Amino acid sequence: MLINDFKLEVFFGKHEFSAPYLLTQSDCESMSITDLLKLEDGSQEKFLNEWLGYTEVPGDPELRNVISKLYTTMKSENIIVHAGAQEPIFNFMNILLEKQDHVITQFPIYQSLFEVANAIECEVSRWNIEQGENGWMMDIDSLESLIQPNTKLIVLNSPNNPTGYTFTEEEIKKIADIARKNNIYVFCDEVYKGVELDGFKRPWFADYYEKGISLGVMSKAYGLAGLRIGWLATRDEELLGKLIKMKHYTSICSSGPSEKLSIIALKNSDMLLQRNTQIIKDNLIIADAFFNKYSSLFKFNRPMAGPVAFIKMNIEMPIAEFCDELVDKQSVLLLPSNIYDMDSQYFRMGFGRINFKESLDQFEKYLIENKYV
C-alpha cells in the first residue's frame, strides 16, 4: 500500500521530545504506574506477578467487560481491544473499504481518518465544520447532500481534533437516522470522549446505531497514551469477526501489562476523567484572559469538549512559518493548520497539561519580544 506521510506525526517527531513548552498536546496530563496502582488496594503486588505470555486476541476478558460497561448496549463480545487508536483505524478501514467506495469524513480531522481510505483508492468527500461567529458549527442536514449511491462509510470524530466541536445527542440521533436510511456504516472516533466541558455526557455512537462503530482509547481523556490500549465497539457481528482476522496480521494481541493497568484505570474512570476535566477547565480560564487581552490578534474558539481548540491568528506570515519560528526561538510548540490540509491561519492549542500556564507565558513573551502585540 502506498500511503502519504502522516503530517502531524512527522511534525511531532521533530519537536515533541525536545521542545519543553508543549502548548498543543491533545493528550491530557499523564501519571506514573505507581500512582495508577495506588487506585486499587493490593494491585502493586499483583501487577508485579503478572505473567508475560501472549494474551487473548480480542483482549483481556476483564478489560473487555469494563470497557463494555461504558456503553448502554454493549457486551464484552462487542469490544475488540487494539494497540492505541491508530491500529483500529487502520484495520477497520482495511476490512471495510474497497477501491472506488465513497467515504464522507468530517473536516478538519485527524489525518488517518481519511488517509487510509485515500490509500485504498476510495473517493473521499469532506463534510466541513464551519467557523461561525461563536465558534465551530456543523449543518447536519447538509450531510444528506454528500451521499452518493456508492457511499459506504461516514467518518466522524466527536469531540473533534482539532476544533473541539462535539455533537449533541440530537445530532447523533439525526446522523444515525440518515445513515440508517441510506444503509451506510458510521465510524465515530470518540477518543476525546469523557472530558465534556458543559457537563453533559454524550452517548457513544455505537449505542445509537447498529452499523455504528465507536473508537475509544486510554491515550487522550484518561492521559494514559503510553499504555497503547484502544478499542472498537460495535454490534455488527460480521465486522467483529473481520476485525479479529485483521488483528492477526497487525499486533495479534495487545500488551498484557497495559491491559491490566487499563482495567485499573477504567474501574476508576469517573475519578480520572474528573481530574482531567478540571485541569482543562482551569487552563481555559487562563486562556480566556489571554485571548481577551489579545483579541485583535486571535479568534479564540473555546472547545465544546476535549482538550484542544483551533484558534485563528491574524498575522501576515504563513502560519506554518510562524509555528516553526516559535518552536525554534522560544521552544513553544503549536500545531499549524497546514498539518490539517487547511489554507487558513489556525493553530491548535491543548489545555490538558498542568504546565499550561508556564507554556502560555513563554508564548506571550515571544509575542511581545517579536512585536506581534
Contact with ligand PLP (CB under 6 A): which of 67, 117, 191, 334?
191
User: According to the binding rule CB under 6 A, does residue 84 interact with ligand PLP?
Assistant: yes
Among 161, 254, 262, 337, binds ligand PLP (CB under 6 A): 161
Under the binding rule (CB under 6 A), the answer on residue 67 touching ligand PLP is no
342 vs 367, which CB is nearer to ligand PLP? 342
- Which runs of E-coded beta strand occur in 284-361? 298-299, 308-313, 332-333, 335-336, 346-350
Please tell me whether residue 219 binds ligand PLP under the rule CB under 6 A: yes
CB contact set of 340 (below 8 Å; sequence gap of 6+): 8, 108, 109, 111, 162, 346
Q: Which of 110, 127, 187, 351 binds ligand PLP (CB under 6 A)?
A: 110
Sheet containing strand 212-217, edge to edge, reads: 79-83, 229-234, 212-217, 185-189, 151-157, 102-107, 123-128
> Judged by CB under 6 A, which of 143, 155, 213, 217 binds ligand PLP?
217
Give the residue with the Cβ less far from ligand PLP, 176 or 191: 191
203 lines the binding site for ligand PLP (CB under 6 A): no
Select from 63, 70, 74, 85 the one that contacts ligand PLP (CB under 6 A): 85
Q: Which residue do the cell numbers 474497497 mark?
A: 98
Residues numbered 221-280 forming contacts with ligand PLP, rule: CB under 6 A: 225, 230
Considering only the stretches 53-61, 81-89, 144-152, 180-188, report the one whose residues sit in contact with ligand PLP under the rule CB under 6 A: 81-89
Q: Which of residues 277-296 bind ligand PLP (CB under 6 A)?
A: none
Query: Cα angle vertex 163, ends 68, 130, to 5°?
Result: 120
- Can residue 111 be called a binding residue for ligand PLP (CB under 6 A)? no
Q: By C-beta, is 84 or 212 nearer to ligand PLP?
A: 84
Shortest Å, Cβ 85 to ligand PLP:
3
Nearest-angstrom CA–CA distance, 329 and 298: 21
Name residue 358's amino acid: E
Q: Does 86 bind ligand PLP (CB under 6 A)?
A: yes
Does 26 interact with ligand PLP (rule: CB under 6 A)?
A: yes
Q: Are 83 and 102 in contact (CB under 8 A)?
A: no
CB 144 within 8 A of CB 290: no
Beta-carbon contacts of 270 under 8 Å, excluding residues fewer than 6 positions away, are: none
Segment near ligand PLP (CB under 6 A); pick from 43-51, 82-90, 296-304, 316-324? 82-90
CA 52 – CA 100 distance, rounded (Å): 43
Query: Which residues have C-beta within 8 Å of that of residue 177, sequence separation ≥ 6?
Result: none
Residue 194 binding ligand PLP, by CB under 6 A: no
C-alpha separations of 233 from 55, 79, 159, 214 in Å: 19, 5, 17, 5
Residue closest to ligand PLP, measured at CB = 84
Say how many residues touch ligand PLP, by CB under 6 A. 13
Give the footprint of ligand PLP on this chain (CB under 6 A): 26, 84-86, 110, 157, 161, 189, 191, 217, 219, 225, 230
